[in-house]
Amino acid sequence: MKAAQPPPFTFQPGRHLEVLDDPIHDPYHPQKKLSEPAVCSECGAVFHEGRWQWITPAAHALQTRCAACRRIDEEQPAGYVTIEGQFAREHRQELLSVARNLETREKAEHPLQRIMAIDEQDDKVMITTTDIHLARGIGEALEHAYKGDLKFHYNKDEYLLRVWWQR
Ligand SMILES: [Zn+2]
């Protein structure tokens, strides 16, 4: 018998992916520091003070394309979240709104964190993201809300994070 109440969300230090904090592995991360201010000609995000923000670009801002727009155009996700299991099938729309709500919150602060696609199949759902942090965040949000089993596999060479959540 499982306890009726899920335990409070606790951070598991053994699973912390420190390497995710180091953007140098990302092939979409510019090798040279981007000159400021720069504006993405596709989504309008502005690179200012070392980070991407949703602000009004300066008139002289350099036109560029942000990593998220390039990944979307080239169909090269950084994160893959696979959601499986009977509970997941029965509560699919609820789980997907958890993922979408997280994206909305994250994207407001971090313009490059976006869901690329949601592929709904009979027995599973695959969410692809432009950023590995969002993929990890979706997995952790599902685990936080519904328990279940959460697994990560990080490929440093390709800067790819695969996340499985199952219940
Ligand atoms: Zn963009």
The reply to whether 9 falls in a domain is no
137 located within any domain: yes
* Ligand 1 centroid distance, CA of 123 (Å): 33
Q: What's the pLDDT band for 158 if we cut at 50, 70, 90? A: confident
Q: Is residue 67 part of a domain?
A: yes
What is the 37 CA–ligand 1 centroid distance (Å)?
Answer: 14
Number of domains in the chain: 1
Centroid of ligand 1 to alpha carbon of 110 (angstroms): 12
pLDDT of residue 10: 42
Q: Tell me, what's the pLDDT at 35?
A: 84
Q: What pLDDT was estimated at residue 159?
A: 87
What is the percent of the chain with per-residue pLDDT over 90, rounded to a whole number? 75
Compute the half-sphere exposure of residue 139: CA atoms within 13 Å on the CB side of its CA.
Answer: 25
Distance 82 CA to ligand 1 centre (A): 25
Ligand 1 center from residue 64 Cα (angstroms) = 8
Q: Is residue 98 part of a domain?
A: yes
pLDDT tier for residue 13 given thresholds of 50, 70 and 90: very low
In whole angstroms, how far apart are CA 76 and each of 16, 29, 145?
Answer: 24, 13, 29
Q: How far is the CA of 33 from the centre of ligand 1 (A)?
A: 17
Tokens of 17: 């992916």
Which residues span the domain enclosing 57?
A: 23-166
